[in-house]
Amino acid sequence: MTDWMIWFALAGILVAAEIFTGTFYLLMIAVGFCAGGIAAVAGVPFYGQFIAAGISGGVVTLALRNSRLFKKHRVHPQRNPSVLLDIGQTVEVRQWENPQNGIYRSRASYRGALWDVELLPAGRPEAGLFIIREIRGATLLVENSKT
């Protein structure tokens, strides 16, 4: 078996493994192995094939890691309604305390317990319904309800 056949066979094995694992990284390493196979077809010695495979696999892996594909839908868990089901729910705040360092705080009953409530900077400190936008520990960060 010649060098280029080995490179392409290994790339095929990695593509098959990627199908079972669902990661893109194995696919990017398979691209590197294809580059090693292309270098072998071009007659480059084995160390050159190995370098071509390593550099191209590393470059495409870094390109994938820094692409918008991974950054597109990243939401911090404290603001993610899929993680914390309370995000987007309403809570009634009857009175706000005097601001400390420009931050309005209060206590409110929510789901049968008293919670600390903090008004987000864009909110207005008035009594009424507020939408939970974030949760930090036992503190609900809220903004004014539109209704």
Select from 3.40.50.150, 3.40.190.10, 3.40.225.10, 2.40.50.140 the CATH code of 77-144. Answer: 2.40.50.140
Query: What does the DSSP assignment read for 9-31?
Result: HHHHHHHHHHHHH--SHHHHHHH
Tens of pLDDT along 76-100? 777 777 777 889 899 999 999 988 8
Tens of pLDDT along 37-50? 999 999 999 999 99
Domain ranges of the chain: 3-71, 77-144
CA gap 11, 32 in Å, rounded: 8
Question: Residue 35's pLDDT is what?
Answer: 95
Buried b (16+ CB within 10 A) or exposed e, 81-98: eeeeeebeeebebeebee
Question: Residue 74's pLDDT is what?
Answer: 65
Terminal Cα distance for the chain, rounded: 72
